[in-house]
Amino acid sequence: MTEDGVCIVDELQQFYLVCQPIIRIRSSQLIESVADYEVLIRSKRDNKFPFNAFRKLIECEAYNDVFIEWFEKEFNYLLQKFPNYKFDINIDPQQFKYPRTWIFIDSILPECRRIAVEITEAIPLNKEFAAQDKFFKKSPLSVLKKMGFKTVVDDIGTGQNSLQFVANNLQDIDRLKISLVAFRGLRDDVTYLFLKAWFHLANKYNFEFVVEGIDNEITATSLISSGLDMQQGFFWQKPHVLKETAKRLNNIY
């Protein structure tokens, strides 16, 4: 492994997992329940997603193998510690290119009924794999769906998760997620029209529809009044280390 590779793998030692609930609201009084928890990666250096380090880890097979080994261990701990929780895991399109990713997916197959796999919006790094038409025609969604996992298209309308991608994979999608972060700078009425259109599509094809980026009660209640009752964001709860894992993290790191 090169010196640069050693540095990147060392950076992995700074990673830890947090969870953020996806909330299902039952009424306009904000009576909510947790549908499932999205599993997110954070770095101890700044408690943010380590974007640059993560992208370097998945840009080649050897580094991705090391990352998957780490993630598998940490995620299995969550599965064992919280046997009644449902979890969402994010997989970058680039990672589906590597056999070790699929070995990991196969290893968690016994728990597939409580695991959703989110395909992120990132455009694959590998040039040979980057052509969107190729990814559209050979999406991993159909394989994941047949295996029994809930399939999720993350951050629709951004990156490679376009309307075309959704339209080409209608039969293999269980949930769509859209983030209000992508609409910053636009007027509220314009944002609402986009949400309404995607929500209409989701209803027609019986997809769950989650709005991310909810950071205040006004936004939450406004969307609930329009039927958008699956939400995620700081208003409901910030990403956090699940209580039972906090002591373990302190001991390890």
Instruction: Indicate whether 89 pLDDT > 80.
Output: yes
Tell me the CA distances in angstroms from 143 to 114, 146, 177, one per residue in order. Answer: 17, 5, 20
Indicate whether 231 pLDDT > 70: yes
**% of the chain at pLDDT higher than 90:** 81
Asked if pLDDT for residue 242 goes beyond 70, the answer is yes
Closest by CA to 201, choosing from 160, 170, 162, is: 170
Flag the least confident range among 6-15, 183-192, 234-243.
Answer: 6-15
- Structural domain boundaries in the chain: 3-240
Asked if residues 181 and 146 have their Cβ atoms less than 8 Å apart, the reply is: no
**Percentage of the chain with pLDDT > 70?**
87
pLDDT at 251 over 50: no
Q: Mean pLDDT, the chain, as a whole number?
A: 90
Q: What is the CA radius of gyration of the chain?
A: 18
pLDDT > 60? residue 215: yes
Give residue-wise pLDDT tens across range 98-146.
Answer: 999 999 999 999 999 999 999 999 987 665 554 445 554 568 999 999 9
Report, as an integer, the average pLDDT of 11-31.
89
Assess contact for 223 and 211: CB atoms under 8 A: yes
Over 90: is that where the pLDDT of 240 sits?
A: yes
User: Where does the pLDDT of residue 250 fall: very low under 50, low under 70, confident under 90, or very high at 90 and above?
Assistant: very low
Which residues are CB-contacts of 188 (< 8 A; sequence separation ≥ 6)? none
pLDDT band at 249 (very low <50, low <70, confident <90, very high): very low
235 within 8 A of 219, measured Cβ to Cβ? yes
What was the pLDDT predicted at 31?
Answer: 76
C-alpha distances (whole Å) from 214 to each of 63, 73, 123, 142, 219 are 34, 31, 25, 30, 7
**Whether the Cβ atoms of residue 120 and residue 179 lie closer than 8 Å to each other:** no
**Residue range 187-214: average pLDDT?**
97
Structure-model confidence comparison of residues 226 and 244, the more confident one: 226
pLDDT of residue 6: 60
Query: How large is the average pLDDT for residues 203-224?
Result: 96
Confidence of residue 246 (pLDDT cuts 50, 70, 90): very low
Question: What is the pLDDT at residue 130?
Answer: 47
Could you please state the CATH topology (level 3) that the domain comprising 3-240 is classified under. Answer: TIM Barrel (3.20.20)
Using 50, 70 and 90 to split pLDDT, how confident is the model at 8? confident
Q: Rounded to an integer, what distance in angstroms lies between the CA atom of residue 32 and that of residue 231?
A: 10
Dump pLDDT digits (tens) for 47-82: 999 999 999 999 999 999 999 999 999 999 999 999
